[in-house]
Amino acid sequence: MSRTIFCVKHKEELEGMDMPPMPGQKGAYLYDNISKKAWAEWQSKQTMLINEKRLSMMNPEDRVYLAEQMDKFFNNEDIDAIEGFVPQGKKTPE
């Protein structure tokens, strides 16, 4: 049986993650407050940000930037634009 949590991103009870996504206090917070659905959405955005902005996870500044974007995403704040991304059903500007 899966556990449910109140997801701060989606503001509803949803299935929680199976395990904390990272160690420490941040991982515990995410495990207790972010749904499996919201985490999957973030992973997709994170991948696009890493690729689009050419981030290196070896660079401490890039890791701080990505952590800030993650916090904004889960708090429903605007994250930096992903320029090359066009949502399905929309046409690219000409």
The string of pLDDT tens digits covering residues 4-43 is 999 999 999 999 999 999 999 999 999 999 999 999 999 9
Q: Is the pLDDT of residue 92 over 60?
A: no
pLDDT of residue 39: 97
Domains of the chain: 4-74 (1.10.3880.10)
64-91 residue pLDDT tens: 999 999 999 999 999 998 876 566 676 6
Q: 3-class secondary structure for the chain?
A: CCCEEEECCCCEEEEECCCCCCCHHHHHHHHHHCEHHHHHHHHHHHHHHHHHHCCCCCCHHHHHHHHHHHHHHHCCCCCCCCCCCCCCCCCCCC
Q: Is the pLDDT of residue 1 over 70?
A: no
